Structure 1
Amino acid sequence: MSAYKGPTFESLGLSKPLVEALGAMAIRRPSQIQISCIPEILKGHDCIGGARTGSGKTVAFAAPILQKFSEDPYGVFALILTPTRELALQISEQFSALGASMNLKQAVVVGGMDMVAQGIALQKRPHIVIATPGRLADHIQSSGEEAVAGLRRIKFLVLDEADRLLTPGFAPDLETCMGVTAKGRDRQTLLFTATITPSVLQLKDSSKHNVFLHEVETNSKISIPDTLTQSYILLPSHVRESYLVSLLSMPENEKKSAIVFVNRTTTADVLRRVLRAMEIRVTSLHSGISQRERIDSLNRFRAEAARVLVATDVAGRGLDIPQVQMVINFDIPADSDDYIHRVGRTARAGRTGESISFVSEHDVSRIQAIETRVGKQMDKYEGVRESDVIKNWLQPVSNARREALMDIEKEAAGLVGPKKRKRRA
């Protein structure tokens, strides 16, 4: 086996402490997005980086930011905006690991956490602020000048998952956040995304500065890892829960870690209860639970205390959960790009993985759009037989679903408190 002769992190311009920190994270060779973007950012260029999930985009902006910070540390050095709380916390973990030798101070400013404590943290001028636009906008509008003054001198502004941040839903809060940051040549702007959309390109075209644009895969059809198998199961919509339990309980699947994606928080809540009743170790991640529960759920899944994570698209982007072996689309997303982000949770960094989509009578057009988007047809999944589902799972799962719905109604009416989750589940 020949020795590696490609670019190294040293040749990209990173310092020895950063290279050692990357090595401690088992990152020893730069990915294509890192090879392309790190030198340009170190040269002072604005940057738009596009690459599929799992390709190392966070390191592509975190490493050069920390390199520049080590040369001239001061106040609030960088602001990273990201669409979800979980992704903000994950980015914070990467900065902590990379900046372990730099006495780096961070503040994570997201919803669901104590706003007073966040305001105090901002007043202390942390070096890195990682925030969701909505919560940071709340601080800008209500926490006073002392809390946001440090943002006016930032050296870097990062929009992570930029395609999502540049949608109308984020526009007012994003405008508020960007309005208090350093302007023009005093600030480098870095946009990273798995999907370079027209709105991202429009930002480049409207810029007065020379913006470096790098997209690892310009062919939009090559968005799915080669090591991912994609298949579907045709089924009636009213028995999806029974098919899910049957699929997860098959001998070849009963030990696999899996993310089950749904479109609604209520569906996630019902499925969590049903799977627990079927003695499947499960947890859930969606916007209908508290921030503390979301963090605990993600940590339990990462630690393999739960082997199944039922999630809405809050888990579809950016989250690094290396051990996922299977992604199940219980609900088919309306947007084909959301499908790509979902299945990108598995088959990461060269590992194999599989995605299985439940296709009911209402989903055919969505599946056809997804197949057109990824440039490949799905295969029919042969493992689950209708006769086995009816014989073994239809009645017990139907009973569990009925009980779950009754419990949810009672909790909503205040007749009973929420059932405590068993730790083993």
Structure 2
Amino acid sequence: MTQEKNSEHQIGSRKRRKLSPPEPAESRAYATPEAPILSRIKAKKTELAPHRSPITDLSPASTNEANFASLNVAPWLTRALSSMEIKRPTGIQKACIPEILKGRDCIGGSRTGTGKTVAFTVPILMKWAEDPMGIFALILTPTRELAIQIFEQVKAISAPVSLKPILITGGADQQQQAIDLASRPHIVIATPGRLAEHIRTSGEDTIAGLRRVRFVVLDEADRLLAPGKGSMLPDLETCLSVLPPPTKRQTLLFTATVTPEVMALREQPRPGRPPIFVCEVDTEDLAIPPKLQQTYIQAPVTHKECYLHVLLGTPVNVEKSTIIFCNRTDTATLLEYLLRSLGHRVTALHSGLKQSDRVANLARFRAQAARVLVATDVAARGLDIPEVKLVINYDIPRDPDDYIHRVGRTARAGRIGHSVTLVGQRDVDLVYAIEERVGKKMDDYEEEDVSIEGRVIRDALKPVTEKKREAMLQIQEGKDVLGKRKKGMQKKRS
């Protein structure tokens, strides 16, 4: 991930690095704390079944003064990283780069914002420089935005050499992508759905280069390998079916939350291959940023929009760059329309938008032209936006791991960050599950001389309710967030 001015964080990473021998089978890397985590929110105490596999950390001991040269990184790559202000390796980079260079498959677990992209890009580029063949590496990632971010980082790191990366994602011209694939690029960064579509429809001449891939990277591997509704496994299996067998390629899995599905890689037969390198660093068992302040506000479901509007406008928060997470696209759309009509500088990121709008909106937020980003979980994974000061969970995720990814958008690279979760009447069990998962309770939101509930009653109920009705009508009439009728909708009304 982008690591501008992160020397303070990296020094902290070295101190926190946790290297331990294999744990007994009965121990759990993510075990529930011995003392129960008591929430300030009254909740039904339901016992949560452990859902973690033991983590074996095989990484070698490191020196406190490690740099990229000490990891045997090529001088040209060291200079390229230095030009990007990446001068000291983080814990995950120190652990994984030497082992990947030895030819080992890797499972790397590290909390968000610790430079996992550099951890796999550097050894891939070094190996490619030794033998610059056709499609050398395939990097798969769950979202278009993360694929674009990795593509830009690979281009930046490889600037001194003639590396040709390409991007294969939905929302772009499929015919041009097929031409790019057939031109034998060096690195392909893709989302599984679009690449699987090419494999099924574009013909052998297009995908032939994939049959000689040396490296396969699954970034945010827990999401790619997750079963259940909306699973990417069918498309992922299609992608892997045209690649060399696991014994003839290196497979690298990186994630902030190591799940049993990720750890299942260890069980695959490996004739003639070195043992898989498995490590987990910089997580402190919790995978949440150490300087994150987690808080909650109890808000009636019928008035959550009022509480959100007041929270965004308090003296402490009025200038903060903020991401608001929703569970559904419809909710995100409504909040974007509503908050804009209430005077907030807001944009949105979700699957209901055209790809060009998604890219433009994210760029607006990164450039701080918009202070608030309303998003679904497509923005929860991997995106590196250093200036995010506040994350608001408008809807609470069902999976505590999704909560970890959401709040990981703030407090990155050693910075201080805040998260606020709006808790409705039916949400307390979800909050309790999150507290069990992260091993820490949320604090009641407090701001000096500010009563959120009082401001809602006094200032927000009437205007927010009126603006919500207007926003819903605007959406129903097919108007965009600026109040203009969308293209293709003009002739619907006579």
Same fold (TM over 0.5): yes
> What are the residue-to-residue correspondences of 1:318-333 with 2, within 5 Å?
318-333=382-397
Q: Which residue of 1 aligns with 2:288?
A: 224
> What are the residue-to-residue correspondences of 1:341-380 with 2, within 5 Å?
341-380=405-444
Q: Which residue of 2 aligns with 1:105?
A: 164
Q: Which has the higher helix share?
A: 1
Distance 1:6 1:205 in 2: 35
Deviations 1:40-71, CA, capped at 9 Å, x for gaps = 01111111111111111110000110111111
Query: Is 1:144 aligned to 2:203, yes or no?
Result: yes
Deviations 1:349-393, CA, capped at 9 Å, x for gaps = 100000000001011000000011111111101234212112111
Q: Which residue of 2 aligns with 1:252?
A: 316
> What are the residue-to-residue correspondences of 1:8-407 with 2, within 5 Å?
8-168=67-227, 169-208=231-270, 209=273, 210-216=275-281, 220=285, 222-383=286-447, 384-407=451-474
Distance 1:193 1:223 in 2: 10
Secondary structure at the counterpart of residue 420 of structure 2 = strand
Deviations 1:251-300, CA, capped at 9 Å, x for gaps = 22111100000000011001011111111111000000011111011111
Secondary structure at the counterpart of residue 159 of structure 1 = strand
4+ residue runs over 3 A deviation: 217-220
Deviations 1:160-203, CA, capped at 9 Å, x for gaps = 11111112311111111001112244311111111111111112
Distance 2:74 2:128 in 1: 12
Q: 2:478 is matched by which residue type in structure 1? A: E
Deviations 1:105-155, CA, capped at 9 Å, x for gaps = 111111111111111110111111001111000000100111100101111
Are 1:62 and 1:95, in contact at CA under 8 Å, matched by a contact in 2?
yes
Match of 2:477 among 410, 416, 419: 410
Q: Which moved more, 1:278-287 or 1:161-170?
A: 161-170
Classify 1:416/1:303 alpha carbon distance in 2 versus 1 (closer, same or farther; 3 Å): closer
Distance 2:335 2:283 in 1: 38
Are 1:410 and 1:416, in contact at CA under 8 Å, matched by a contact in 2?
no
For the aligned residue pairs, the C-alpha RMSD in angstroms reads: 1.6
Q: Which moved more, 1:333-342 or 1:378-387?
A: 378-387
Q: Which runs of 5+ in 1 are unaligned?
A: 420-425
Q: Which moved more, 1:200-209 or 1:352-361?
A: 200-209
Are 2:295 and 2:445, in contact at CA under 8 Å, matched by a contact in 1?
yes
Normalising by structure 1, report the TM-score.
0.95
Are 1:92 and 1:106, in contact at CA under 8 Å, matched by a contact in 2?
yes
Are 1:234 and 1:358, in contact at CA under 8 Å, matched by a contact in 2?
yes
Distance 1:144 1:167 in 2: 29
Distance 1:16 1:306 in 2: 40
Distance 1:249 1:321 in 2: 22
Distance 1:264 1:237 in 2: 15
Question: What's the CA shift for 1:311?
Answer: 0.4
Question: What's the CA shift for 1:217?
Answer: 5.4
Q: Which residue of 2 aligns with 1:423?
A: none
Classify 1:382/1:356 alpha carbon distance in 2 versus 1 (closer, same or farther; 3 Å): same
Are 1:10 and 1:19, in contact at CA under 8 Å, matched by a contact in 2?
yes
Classify 1:244/1:40 alpha carbon distance in 2 versus 1 (closer, same or farther; 3 Å): same
Q: 1:417 is matched by which residue type in structure 2? A: R
Distance 2:142 2:84 in 1: 25
Q: Which residue of 2 aligns with 1:6?
A: 65
Secondary structure at the counterpart of residue 232 of structure 1 = strand
Q: 1:409 is matched by which residue type in structure 2? A: Q
Count of residue pairs the alignment pairs up: 414
Secondary structure at the counterpart of residue 129 of structure 1 = strand
Question: What's the CA shift for 1:219?
Answer: 5.9
Q: Which runs of 5+ in 2 are unaligned?
A: 1-10, 12-62, 488-494
Q: 1:44 is matched by which residue type in structure 2? A: G
Q: 1:238 is matched by which residue type in structure 2? A: T
Q: 2:267 is matched by which residue type in structure 1? A: D
Classify 1:382/1:33 alpha carbon distance in 2 versus 1 (closer, same or farther; 3 Å): same
Are 1:46 and 1:211, in contact at CA under 8 Å, matched by a contact in 2?
yes
Q: 1:213 is matched by which residue type in structure 2? A: V
Q: 1:188 is matched by which residue type in structure 2? A: Q
Question: What's the CA shift for 1:223?
Answer: 2.0
Distance 1:370 1:181 in 2: 38
Q: RCO greater where, 1 or 2, for CA within 8 Å and sep 6 or more?
A: 2
Question: What's the CA shift for 1:309?
Answer: 0.4
Q: 1:212 is matched by which residue type in structure 2? A: F
Percentage identity across aligned positions? Answer: 56
Classify 1:303/1:416 alpha carbon distance in 2 versus 1 (closer, same or farther; 3 Å): closer
Question: What's the CA shift for 1:9?
Answer: 0.4
Normalising by structure 2, report the TM-score.
0.82
Q: Which residue of 1 aligns with 2:30?
A: none
Deviations 1:185-242, CA, capped at 9 Å, x for gaps = 431111111111111111212241421111115764x222221100000110111111
Distance 2:325 2:168 in 1: 26
